Structure 1
Amino acid sequence: MDGQLLLVLLLLLLGASGPEGQGPGPGEPEEEPPKEEIPEEDGILVLSRRNLGLALREHRTLLVQFYAPWCGHCKALAPEYSKAAALLAAESAKARLAKVDGPAEAELTEEFAVTTYPTLKFFRDGNRTHPEEYTGPREAEGIAEWLRRRAGPSATRLEDEDGAQALIDGRDVVVIGFFQDLQDEDVATFLALAQDALDMTFGLTDQPKLFQKFGLTKDTVVLFKKFDEGRADFPVDEELGLDQGDLSHFLLTHSMRLVTEFNSQTSPKIFSAGILNHLLLFVNQTLASHRELLAGFGEAAPPFRGQVLFVVVDVGADNGHVLRYFGLKAEEAPTLRFINMETTKKYAPAHGGPLTATSVTAFCHAVLGGEVKPYLLSQELPPDWDQRPVKTLVGKNFEQVAFDETKNVFIKFYAPWCTHCKEMAAAWEALADKYKDHEDIIIAELDATANELEAFPVHGFPTLKFFPAGPGRKVIEYKSTRDLETFSKFLDSGGELPAEEPAEEPAAPFPETPANSTTEPKEEL
């Protein structure tokens, strides 16, 4: 029995190291399992639940796009995303781009709380639990630059005068931080801001000779620019240190020209500048007499820097949406308009005198001092405004109709371009037809892009409001399903709905125009 057991063991040992490739012989190294490769498409890593961990281990900085094959916004982003990957690859950059098919990878979309497409998240140093939400540009160079600033230093270290001068000469706007101690926490604040200020180039130095060259004796952030004053200094508070919010506002304010011409390239910066008051000069740049006004307009601007943004709008260019927003026609140029971006209140000069530096300055002071009343846009009242089941309201007849104490008035505030408004148009017409014989009920609509109301602003489209009969100017906002049945229940109950009624669909933001639409749309899951 013992001999048989010994024979079996001997055969097993021989089989484990035999010549048929069943295992390595004595002294031979064991074969390593093949290394897993992450698939790529157009230089973009294709990730899944199975290989995300590997990608995070292999790449210190990783931008991941969660997309859906059916998503229109994802398809629009795709070519720019691929170009950004190519730019980074050409530079041998450490940062990589990746993508995840969200619907196919439900576990990952749930793990990272992805609810809309496209959603982009930035992972650093393999940290899977706290990725940074990407809110940067959606064009190739902007995506690449955003990643460059995170993968490498966001500011160039300057050691001598030649390097500093070369940096300043190379760009229209350059920001240099002069810090006596580069280990100071103010430097970290400066570098963090530099990561996101992609339209500016940043440098930093601790060299005494550079402090001396630029006339500095204390820590200071200096903005160099090839226009207007040429330079603006932001001294670091010796007690409080460098406040990122204050520095950001300073850089936004001083990196803009004293007078900015409105166009598709400058509009995002105009609306993100954080300056609430805007003064607009409408001119026709093809006319010499109009161009001559620009000098006086610019002469008035310096005392208002940081308080009022001076903007030139060429009525001869593709700026019709701006004219409509202010209720202007091209032939009314040259003229001024003032707007507060927070309240959306608009102001016009009381008299059409000559546009000089003196008159522009006086108009600004008058508006800021509360001496000028805002004006409200209103279309002309159509003669047949009450002949259809859906009544037409404009600014001039709104108060009279909406607050008629003998009527229950249900009003749709809409924009001609609003998709949600168009989708509910048939239901609104059907509602008006259903109640056309009820003398105490009025169904109406008002184009809120062409008519403004003193009673309240309209911030989204469609906005639906019910004005019940009786005293007190009562207003009830409708926030439920936009269909005939639910509209009818709401009217029949005097402006109330059961608590279980579903919430309304999202409203389009106001105003949604090329002029100020700077956020990137997303598609919901």
Structure 2
Amino acid sequence: SARPCDVDYLQGYFNPNSVTTKRSFTAATGCVFFTGILCLLFSDSGLIKLNDLKAAKAFVDSAEVVIVGFLESEESRGFSEFLEASKQVESVPAAICSVNEVWVDYSISSDTIILFRKADNHQENLVISEAKKLETDGLVNFITINELRYITEYNQVTAVGLFNSDVKTHLVLFANRGSKDYTELKERLGALAPEFTGKLLFVLINGAVKSNFKSLNYFGLKSKDLPRVGIYDGDSDMKWLLPDGDISTERVREFCQSFLKGELKDMKQAGEEPKTEL
């Protein structure tokens, strides 16, 4: 369950009440290669078929986010919906696995759809027998809500996955889409994020979008102040800004390390108004 924290932050940044790589393969051979070595066969449905543990592990490790249908057969409940959902969410590679020996390694005892993501070393399980209703739209939501990446752009859909992650601390890049350094900063921090897997989630907030103004205001920022970098700690409901200046890999790394060492707790919080005597 969610920890209570600042209302503006929840409504502006996470807004939990607003739930809203194309796979490449060689058609001639019906194979796909991971790390240039492993060849995985496609099932009749067109989904990648994982026939052993080595194939499964290679597939799970092949992208930041993947989804696997651990289903007994193509006649299983949920298979057709899984197939259709995987076509609609092309950014997330999908596969099926019907080999029980592989299921054991992932602690699966019955048909289950699992989304694996690297950003917080998390696997989100959807046990088919526990689902009262199983529809394509519901599976699409399941995938997109949980599709957190090394740097996740905040929107009403990803907000739910961010809020539900076990990692409650966020390194937030505030930047205006369309600005000259937007893409460069996104790529720079996205490359840094794997160093802090399981410790911080890296989040990108587009400061040019009006619906994100509450998030900026929570940190004491306006769109004209961007780009800036901050840290929000959900466990303590505290937030800090990286001092103004170059947003370099080294500065952001040191900022994250300072938080992990507990050094930021003695620093002035972002957005704090100076107290005045009445």
**What's the offset of the Cα at 1:336?**
0.5
- Code of the residue aligned with 1:396 in structure 2: it is K
CA distance in 1, matches of 2:219, 2:263: 20
Q: Is the 8 A contact 2:144 2:158 kept in 1?
A: no
1: CA distance, partners of 2:146 / 2:177: 25
Code of the aligned partner of 2:255:
F
Shift of residue 321 of structure 1? 1.0
> Any idea what SS the aligned residue of 1:281 has?
strand
SS of alignment partner, residue 235 of structure 2: coil
- Aligned pairs for 1:91-170 (under 5 A) are 161-162=42-43, 166=47
Instruction: Map residues 322-337 of structure 1 onto 2, 5 A cutoff.
Output: 322-337=215-230
Task: Give yes or no for contact 2:118–2:197 (8 Å, CA) kept in 1.
Answer: no
* Matched position secondary structure for 1:362: helix
Residues 129-185 of structure 1, C-alpha deviation per residue, up to 9 Å, x if partnerless?
A: xxxxxxxx988xxxxxxxxxxxxxxxxxxxx8515861679xx74134499xxxxxx
Q: Does 1:220 align with 2:106?
A: yes
Q: Which runs of structure 1 show a deviation greater than 3 angstroms over 4 or more consecutive aligned residues?
A: 176-179, 199-204, 221-225, 251-255, 376-379
Give me the whole-angstrom Cα distance separating, in 1, the residues matched to 2:197 and 2:258: 17
- Equivalent in the alignment of 1:315: 207
Contact 1:300 1:358 in 2 (8 A): no
Distance 1:205 1:335, change over 3 A: same
Q: What amino acid sits opposite 1:360 in the alignment?
A: V
Structure 2 Cα separation of the partners of residues 282 and 219 of structure 1: 40
Distance between the aligned counterparts of 1:299 and 1:253, measured in 2? 22
Confirm whether residue 344 of structure 1 aligns to residue 237 of structure 2.
Answer: yes
What letter is aligned with 2:221? L
Measure how far apart 1:255 and its partner are.
4.5
Q: Which gives a bigger RCO, structure 1 or 2 (Cα 8 Å, sep 6+)?
A: 2
Q: TM-score, normalised by structure 1?
A: 0.30
Answering whether residue 239 of structure 2 is matched by residue 396 of structure 1, we say no
In structure 1, C-alpha distance between the alignment counterparts of 2:181 and 2:100, rounded to whole Å: 51
Amino acid at match of 1:297: L
Confirm whether residue 364 of structure 1 aligns to residue 250 of structure 2.
Answer: no
Query: What are the residue-to-residue correspondences of 1:109-508 with 2, within 5 Å?
Result: 161-162=42-43, 166=47, 173-177=66-70, 205-206=98-99, 219-220=105-106, 255-318=147-210, 319-349=212-242, 351-372=243-264, 373-375=267-269, 377-379=271-273, 396-397=275-276
C-alpha distance after superposition, 1:96-155 (max 9, x if no partner): xxxxxxxxxxxxxxxxxxxxxxxxxxxxxxxxxxxxxxxxx988xxxxxxxxxxxxxxxx
| Alignment CA distance shift 1:374-1:339 (3 Å) | farther
On the 8 A contact 1:220/1:233 being kept in 2, the answer is no
CA displacement at 1:259 relative to structure 2: 0.6
Higher deviation after alignment, 339-348 or 287-296: 287-296
Q: Distance in 2 between matches of 1:292 and 1:138?
A: 29
CA distance, structure 2, for counterparts of residue 325 and residue 363 of structure 1? 19
Contact 2:146/2:161, CA 8 A, preserved across alignment: no
The residue type equivalent to 1:263 in the other structure is N
Taking only aligned residues, the RMSD between alpha carbons, in angstroms, comes to 4.3
* Partners of 1:347 and 1:367 within 8 A in 2: no
Letter in 1 for 2:47: A
Q: For the structure 1 residues 343 and 362, does the alpha-carbon distance in structure 2 shift closer, same or farther, using more than 3 Å as the test? A: same
> In structure 2, what residue type is equivalent to 1:375?
Q
Q: 1:267 to 1:254 in 2, by over 3 A?
A: closer
| Counterpart Cα distance in 2 of 1:305 and 1:333 | 26
Larger Rg: 1
Q: Deviations over 1:334-370 (max 9, x none)?
A: 1101010121111122x43321222221110111112
Segments of structure 1 that go 5 or more residues without pairing to the other structure are 1-136, 140-159, 180-198, 235-250, 380-394, 402-525
The superposition leaves residues 385-432 of structure 1 with CA deviations (integer Å, 9 ceiling, x where unpaired) of: xxxxxxxxxx613xx56xxxxxxxxxxxxxxxxxxxxxxxxxxxxxxx
- After superposition, the Cα gap between the structure-2 partners of 1:335 and 1:376, relative to the gap in structure 1 and judged at 3 Å, is closer
Indicate conservation of the 8 Å contact 1:167/1:174, yes or no.
Answer: no
Quote the Cα distance in structure 2 between the aligned partners of 1:293 and 1:376: 21
* Aligned mates of 2:19, 2:151 — CA distance in 1: 27
Matched-pair contact (CA < 8 Å) for 2:118–2:149: no
- TM-score normalised per structure 2: 0.52
- Identity fraction in percent: 23
Residues 369 and 285 from structure 1, CA distance in 2 versus in 1: closer, same or farther, beyond 3 angstroms? Answer: same
**Take 2:259 and 2:249, find their aligned partners in 1: how far apart are those partners?**
16
Structure 2 distance, partners of 1:354, 1:376, is 18
Structure 1 254/363 Cα, relative in aligned 2: closer, same or farther at 3 Å?
farther
How far, CA to CA, are the matches of 1:204 and 1:264 in structure 2?
32
8 Å CA contact 2:145–2:159 kept in 1: the answer is no
User: CA 1:301–1:163 in 2, change beyond 3 Å: closer, same or farther?
Assistant: farther
Partners of 2:272 and 2:190 in 1: CA distance: 32
Q: Secondary structure at the match of 1:301?
A: helix
